[in-house]
Amino acid sequence: MTTRLDRIAQKRREKLDRIRAQGIEPYPHRYYRSHTTQQAIALLKQKEEGLTKDEEVRVAGRIMANRPMGKISFLDLRDGSGKIQLCFHKERLSEKRLELFKDLDIGDIIGVEGNLGRTKSGEPTVWVEDFTLLAKSLQPLPEKWHGLSDVDKRYRQRYLDLISNPEVKETFKVRSQVITAIHQFLNERGFLEVETPVLQPSAGGALARPFITHHHALDQDFYLRIAPELHLKRLIIGGFDKVYELGRIFRNEGISTKHNPEFTMLESYEAYADYNDVMSMVEEMVSEVGQQVLGTDKVEFGGNNLNFKPPWQRLELRQAIIKYSGIDFEEYPDADSLRAEMLRLKMEVDPQKSRGRLIDELISTFVEPNLIQPTFILDYPVELSPLAKTKPADERLVERFEAFAGGMEIANAFTELNDPIEQRERFLQQQKERQAEGEAIEVIDEDFLTALEYGMPPTGGLGVGIDRLVMLLTNQPSIREVILFPQLREKP
């Protein structure tokens, strides 16, 4: 059955055939434009102020609206910088150009040349003298008064989302500016940006399920990295004092408003620093990025006003869990006793999870949703943090913090464990626990352990979820709103 959209598309193909029959190439190789739409508007203002003479402009973009008024038609033209109005006076067009004009549709990309002025209503306008078809659109855009509101379609066809909803483009401009500002912040503080492998022989550096792939030439399985941590620490061992990487991470786990299997992570490592130094750097960095990109370190997120100005609130993990759940995990020294207490609170608990994983569930269930203002949660149990250094005053805990804001985690940091013997023992314990939970994943990186034996200085390490930080700074409720091409289930 032929649908309305099929009929529209067929009419556009007929127009394409007519255009080609006139000897016009509907997809030319290039077009010289003298100004973007916003540069043209700025030029008009300069002309009105007497700062420049009248001059012809050449602008190009996509037709977003057409308002015919007898012998005159007003079109809206949008490019990457914004939009401007065009005025076509049909009596000024040659017969050939008039025929071409009749075959233009909303969605077509054109270039126009003409002089700048304003209509009676004061709208900046290009009075078109000539135009060129640059790309014929064979599919109709979503109707202007509806836009593109189908969420699934917006994510699957992001190009239509960007065309139809200009505010979406602004979100991704902010994302780019945030990343640029983070680079600038770290570079100015002497950090060196580096690149580490995405394909890794062991799934180390974090507690996460990896994606596995096979390298045919080597006949060897590799993991898509779940963290760049172990390679970055190799560089600290090798003599770089400050390094960072900002890149893609892959974790074969759940999808939610806060999770995407492929996401962007900042990891940094600083020799001769500890987690207190990193804590200060994080609150300073987020505040400065907000100031640079948005002009403020105070933002609205989910109906709450967040204030990223340092210093942020600091809470010990044990006290935070007691405060929000009523459970003191120190009273439950093993997984069975802690699991029983969690069951008493009507929580659904995996019987195979280790004590560390159960504590992590308490954090995500009770603590995280209550941390709206920027907050550091400090000092985690050692079994939950195999790569962190223990606290001198209490070897059951490690020097680790997680940063939260808007009810979600945005950063994780350690005073890095640099004792190679203890690190091996921790890896072995982690491997044992994961096998008990039914995860037969190789997490012991022997080369990293060898590297540690050459000596790594005291080091502060950091991981920041860029996507979640952008969510906070742009007031977006879902991670899919800040990832251009989020992972989606394949349509049946």
Q: Residue 412, class by beta-carbon neighbours within 10 Å (0-12 exposed, 13-18 middle, 19+ buried)? A: buried
pLDDT of 97 above 80: yes
Over residues 167-195, mean pLDDT = 97
Angle of the 275-294 helix axis to the 166-188 helix axis, nearest 10: 140
User: Tens digit of pLDDT for each residue in 122-133?
Assistant: 999 999 999 999
The model's pTM = 0.93
For the residues 310-329, what does the mean pLDDT come to? 96
User: Residue 24 — very low, low, confident or very high, per pLDDT cuts 50/70/90?
Assistant: very high
Integer Cα distance of 446 and 389 in angstroms:
19
- Whole-number Å distance between alpha carbons of 76 and 61: 9
Q: What is the reported pLDDT for 300? A: 97
pLDDT at 3: 87
Say whether pLDDT at 148 is over 90: no
* pLDDT bracket for residue 245 (50, 70, 90): very high
Residue 147 has pLDDT above 70, yes or no: no
pLDDT above 90 as % of the chain: 78
Helix, strand or coil, per DSSP, at residue 275: helix
Picking from 263, 372, 285, 257, the residue whose alpha carbon sits closest to that of residue 324 is 372
Q: What pLDDT is recorded for position 51? A: 85
Comparing 28-32, 75-79, 254-258, which segment has the lowest mean pLDDT? 254-258
Question: What average pLDDT does this structure show over 54-68?
Answer: 94
To the nearest whole number, what is the mean pLDDT of the chain?
93
pLDDT score, position 142 = 84
Per-residue pLDDT reduced to its tens digit, 429-446: 877 877 766 666 666 889
Q: Alpha-carbon distance 104 to 135, whole Å?
A: 10
pLDDT band at 280 (very low <50, low <70, confident <90, very high): very high
Q: Which of 188, 162, 190, 191 is nearest to 175 (CA)?
A: 162
**Residue 417 pLDDT greater than 90, yes or no:** yes
Helix 446-453 to helix 420-436 angle (10° resolution) is: 160
pLDDT at 145 over 50: no
Flag whether pLDDT at 146 surpasses 60: no
